[in-house]
Amino acid sequence: MSISLDEVRHVANLARLQLSETELLSFQGQLNSLLGHFEDIQNLDVSGVAPKPHAVAMQNVFARDIAHQPLPREEALRNSADTKAGLFIVPTIIEE
Amino acid sequence: MLNQLTAAEIAAKLRAKEVSAREVTQSFLDRIVKEDPHYNAFLTVNSDQALAQADQAQSKIDSGEHHPLCGIPIALKDNLSTRNIKTTCASRILENYVPPFTATSVQKLDDIGAISIGKTNLDEFAMGTTNENSAFGSVHNPWDTERAPGGSSGGSAVAVSAELAPLSLGSDTGGSIRFPAALCGVVGFKPTYGRVSRYGLVAFASSLDQIGPFAKNVEDAALLANAISGHDPLDSTSLKNSQINTSDLKTGSLRGLRLGIPEELFGPEIDPQVREVFELACDNLAREGAEIKRLSLPSINYGVTTYYIIAPAEASSNLARFDGVRFGPRIEKEGHIESFSATRGELFGPEVKLRIMVGTYALSSGYYDAYYHRAQQVRGLMTAEFERAYQDLDFIISPTSPIVAPKLGGITDQMALKALDLCTIPANMGGFPSISIPCGLAYDLPVGFQLTGPVMSDEKILQASYAIEQAFGRDYRRPPIL
């Protein structure tokens, strides 16, 4: 399987990564090389094998519903590039 | 010289009042200032905070009731969140990030009076094999400063190896503790997944990440593993009754210990001289009564592929939070998607971007089944194969790394670099505890001996490692440069 430059562009958009044309070309090469290596598991017989999403499976992990002091607002906002009136400022999503 | 001592030896001196916690901390701070320019192991040195912590530790010591690690300086990989201390993940996107909270593992150390001496360099977001992917420069191996220390916890491995701190913490997703430990000639231990809380560890691949210690010897590694482990309600994958008990550490024996060498980790992939050192180490253990047998675990051959699908898939999701809104600088563009994309495109390094791309592709519509789902099935296959082997064996053993420390910039083939994780990946897939112990030199560079055991065998693996270390000879080898 080989991945086209348009597919690389599509994946970069899905990943929210703005890449230069040089980067797109470089990632196309690297992705194709990796995907080539990934072929080795395509022929492996995994029929009937349950997928293993966790290292150590656990079930029903509950936390007690206890009220506690949350992080103060100013600390939560401290690392943001742009805040106003105790809120994160985000780029405009909905126009008036 | 304090720097040459193990943490347990420094602890004894602190207890005997031969030295104060401030003197210990100051001596390591001085060493970092003087020596670290050769290695670039530290990204942040917490001089003032460390000395304040040392004075508090001294009061605890004077009161007579204290933990053995009270007053011992410990270096922390810079992907462990530390309240009011910069945590960069060696990435420009977090260059000025100061967490408002502390990782549970670090909090536990603070609580017992250990000293957080500084934050160590790593591959950006822990993604790399040689520690050449840091946005703040490569780390240099004390055994030969033109060589890589291994990654991704290269700074933490070097901190201990170059005696800039008696102990350090790293994180291991596909070998990131054990691999640099092997290349730098120190002990590195990845506990069973869930025994050390991941709360506050900046997530790379959540189902694989685990925090663990670097130390000069097994006793010190066990001390630190004991201190950071235990159930934590803040991490939903944290196991109950998970504190690592080390009271029987020194009571083990090699007699009758059943060790298995998978032929998949003993073939042409392994450098012949590394293989020779490993074989001598095995002979040594056999003479002491260990039973060593060969076996085949064919799924190991698919480990690298499986890892490089699962880890990037999880990373692509975990790293979605870095969008310039809540952390880090923001590059303003017309629309929000353009802003996010420009920020991420500009501030993530090339390897991180590659892995986000791989992960996004593997999870995208039409490819999910062929890649991510199938990789998880192979992960199941691999885990089951190891669990079957553990029915007749105590531990699987192999060299930790197929090669000794490579020259910085020496490996340019990306896939060859990724294949170096061959020996270490299976432990992360199964959540198994795994340790690397120095076992000799090849080309005058350290070789690591790896043991991997079943889930929750941490106590047994440390006990066996202690006995193995005795068999290898207690003379801890220092890098010649020291």
Q: What is the pLDDT of residue B476?
A: 60
What does DSSP assign to residue B466?
A: H
Question: What is the value of ipTM here, to two decimals?
Answer: 0.95
For B254-295, the pLDDT digits (tens) are 999 999 999 999 989 999 999 999 999 999 999 999 999 999
Rounded to a whole number, what is the distance in Å from the CA of B310 to chain A's nearest CA? 9
Give the domain ranges of chain B. Answer: 2-256+395-472
CB contact (8 A) between residue B320 and residue A16: yes
Cα within 13 Å of Cα(B246), Cβ side: 19
B290: Cβ contacts below 8 Å, ≥ 6 apart: B254, B255, B256, B257, B258, B259
Over residues B44-59, the pLDDT tens digits come to: 999 999 999 999 999 9
CA of A34 vs chain B CAs: smallest distance (Å): 7
Q: Delineate the domains of chain A, giving CATH numbers in brackets.
A: 5-41 (1.10.20)
| Alpha-helix runs per DSSP H in A43-84 | 73-77
Give the per-residue pLDDT at B474.
60
Residues of B in contact with A16 (CB under 8 A): 320, 323, 337, 340-341, 344
Of B236, B305, B342, the CB nearest to A37: B305
Give the pLDDT confidence of A51-75 residue by residue, as tens digits.
Answer: 999 988 888 888 889 998 999 999 9
Residues of A in contact with B101 (CB under 8 A): 71
Classified by CATH at the fold level, domain B2-256+395-472 comes out as Amidase signature (AS) enzymes (3.90.1300)
Question: Is the per-residue pLDDT at B475 higher than 80?
Answer: no
Q: Is B176 a catalytic residue?
A: yes
Nearest by CB to B207, from A55, A63, A88: name it: A55
- The conformational region for residue A90 under phi > 0 = left, psi -120 to 50 = alpha, else beta, is beta
Please state, in angstroms and rounded to a whole number, the distance separating the CA atoms of residues B24 and B30: 10
Q: Per residue in B315-338, pLDDT tens?
A: 999 999 999 999 889 998 988 899
B198 interfacial to chain A (CB closer than 8 Å): no
Mean pLDDT of the region B115-121: 98
- Stretch B434-457: mean pLDDT, rounded? 97
pLDDT, mean of residues B14-33: 98
Residue contact B316–A15, C-beta within 8 A: yes
β-strand pairing of B187-190 with B258-262: unpaired
Q: Is the pLDDT of residue A90 over 90?
A: no
Between CA B191 and CA B246 the distance in angstroms is 13
CB contact under 8 A, B192 and A56: yes
Residue among B111, B125, B184 at smallest CA distance from B154: B184
Angstrom distance (rounded) from CA B446 to CA B344: 38
B413 is written with which tokens?
A: 């083939």
CB contact under 8 A, A91 and B430: no
Among chain A residues, the shortest Cα distance to B233 is held by A63
What share of chain B has pLDDT > 70, as a percent? Answer: 99
Report the gap between the CA of A37 and the closest CA in chain B (Å).
7
Instruction: State mean pLDDT over A5-24.
Output: 97
Q: Which residue has the higher pLDDT, B34 or A56?
A: B34
> Across the interface, do B326 and A80 touch by the CB < 8 Å criterion?
yes
Of B43, B57, B49, B45, give the one whose Cα is nearest residue B10: B57
A1 has a pLDDT exceeding 90: no
